[in-house]
Amino acid sequence: MSPKTDPFAILPDMTAAGLCATVLDREAHAFAAGLAATMLTDDPEGPHRARVALRRLRSAVWAFRPILRRKVADRLNDRARALFLMLGEIRDADVLLDAFVGPRLERVQLAEAAAGVRARIRHDLRDARALAFAAQLESLVATGEWQGRGRAARKLAEKPATTLARDALDRSWSACAADGPDILTMPDEVLHDLRKRIKRLRYLVDYFGPLWPGLAEAAWADDLRAMQDALGRYCDLKLAAERGVATGDPEEAAEATRTAADIWTGFRLRQPFWRADSAE
């Protein structure tokens, strides 16, 4: 789809306000689609896609907070987090079922348990009026009610999006780098936190990368995706082990962390693409 026909296209000459509105609108639509699949089908991609949209939305709120109304930002973040946690119960049940390689009877029991979780959470999502959240977010975008009212916020919103983007990417990258250089020596709790920070950085690169289109931006996006996948696989296998679910190859989790560690080593030697053309 070309930028001319894609309503969510991100263009290099966008203002901060224009980019923020585009991102919020995109995640509202993505969440609505994932939620609809969750409510109407048993496809594990439904809750996964809905959760990704919510996590991306929270990352956007974090990045664009300087130009958001504070009450709106807090409300969006809290609501997205609550729905994310609810959907997480379905996601965990699906992960355990997918990872299981044991006897057929135990697999049937896991499948029944997952179906029970899905039915309960669907009921909770209806009670929480989850679908209305997407409509509320779209309304905020359409009316402009998300925009901060202070002078500094208005001034920043009118500037090229690169101004806000550089600061957000710097903060996100610094938070990741603070966890240290060697993934293989990190305790599990640190590795889990790094995984979340890597996700945020990846989403910000998705949002802001098109402001600096080129090979450097593409390389960051590809490697962040690969690192997130490797850390995600490690965490899924660890969850299964903690729940006593047989997962097959005991070396798979270690291999996943080695893959992430190799990518991480390369990252720490690389110049951030968003600073390549900056004299700062």
**279 has pLDDT over 50:** no
Q: The dihedral of CA 141, 49, 130, 203: what is its sign?
A: negative
Question: Domain with 91 in it: what CATH number?
Answer: 1.40.20.10
Nearest to 148 by CA among 25, 263, 37, 16: 16
Q: Provide the domain limits for residue 22.
A: 11-159
219 and 80 share one domain: no
117 and 193 share one domain: no
| Higher pLDDT among residues 275 and 211, named by residue | 211
| Higher pLDDT among residues 239 and 187, named by residue | 187
| Higher pLDDT among residues 275 and 79, named by residue | 79
Res. 180 pLDDT band, cuts 50 70 90: confident
19 and 127 share one domain: yes
pLDDT digits (tens, 9 = 90+) for 55-77: 999 999 999 999 999 999 999 99
Res. 174 pLDDT band, cuts 50 70 90: very high
46 and 24 share one domain: yes
pLDDT for 269: 82
142 and 236 share one domain: no
Crossing angle for the helix pair 215-242 and 70-99, to the nearest 10 degrees: 60
Res. 54 pLDDT band, cuts 50 70 90: very high
pLDDT for 277: 66
| Higher pLDDT among residues 146 and 186, named by residue | 146
pLDDT digits (tens, 9 = 90+) for 101-149: 667 767 788 889 999 999 999 999 999 999 999 999 999 999 999 999 9
47 and 136 share one domain: yes
pLDDT for 4: 58
| Higher pLDDT among residues 278 and 154, named by residue | 154
37 and 141 share one domain: yes
End of a domain among 159, 184, 212? 159
Distance between CA atoms of residues 88 and 235, nearest Å: 14
Domain membership flag for residue 6 = no
pTM: 0.86
| Higher pLDDT among residues 217 and 78, named by residue | 78
End of a domain among 159, 186, 216? 159
pLDDT for 247: 62
Nearest to 83 by CA among 42, 43, 27: 27
254 and 268 share one domain: yes
**1 has pLDDT over 60:** no
pLDDT for 60: 97
> Domain count of the chain?
2
143 and 185 share one domain: no
132 and 172 share one domain: no
End of a domain among 140, 159, 178? 159
**280 has pLDDT over 50:** no
Instruction: List C-alpha distances in Å: 269 to 178, 179, 212, 264, 265.
Output: 14, 15, 20, 9, 7
Instruction: List C-alpha distances in Å: 107 to 13, 93, 245.
Output: 52, 12, 10
